[in-house]
Amino acid sequence: MLTALAISATVIGIAFWIVPTNSEVDGGGLPAPTAVIIDGTQIVDITAKGGYSPRVVVAKAGIPTVVRLATKDTFDCSASVVIPKLSYQKFLQPSGIEEIQITAEQATGTLQGLCSMGMYNFKIKFEY
C-alpha cells in the first residue's frame, strides 16, 4: 500500500512537470512579449494552432487594441475562440487572420481567451 502511494505521488509530480499550472507559466521563464503600437492602435499578434502562442502578452492599458489571431491549417480546438470578458465567441476559418477589436475602456486588467473546450488559453495583461 505504501509503495503504491509513493509511486502515485511521484507520478502526480511528473504530471505537474509535464503540464505546468497557469501560475507557473506566468511567473517563470522568459519575459512575456509586449504589444506594438502603430498610429495609436495597439496590435497583439497571437498564433492559434494546437494552442496559442505567445501564451502571455503584455500590453498598455487604456489604448484601443486589435488582437490579430492567425490560424494556419488549424483544425483543433484553438480555432474555436472564446473571450468570456468580452462575450466574444467565434469559430475561425482553418487558415486566415481574425481581428478582434478592443476599445480603450475594455483594455484594462487581464484579458483571458480560451478555446471552447478550455484546454488552451492565452492572456493579455494590460498594464499602466
**Based on CB atoms, which residue is closest to another protein, 18 or 38?**
18
Rounded to the nearest whole angstrom, what is the least distance from the CB of residue 38 to another protein in the complex? 28
Cα–Cα distance, 59 to 75 (Å, whole number)? 28
Is residue 89 within the footprint of another protein (CB under 8 A)?
yes
* 66 versus 82: smaller Cβ distance to another protein: 82
Instruction: Give the span between the Cα atoms of 128 and 120, in whole angstroms.
Output: 27
With CA atoms as reference, report the closest residue to 68 among 115, 124, 125, 30: 124
* Total count of residues recorded for the chain: 128
Tell me if residue 128 falls in helix, strand or coil: coil
Q: Which of 58, 61, 62, 78 is nearest to 70 (CA)?
A: 78
The residues in 54-83 that bind another protein, with binding defined as CB under 8 A, are: 55, 72-80, 82
Residue ranges binding another protein (CB under 8 A): 1, 4, 7-8, 11-12, 14-15, 18-22, 25, 49-51, 55, 72-80, 82, 84-85, 89, 91, 93-95, 112, 114-121
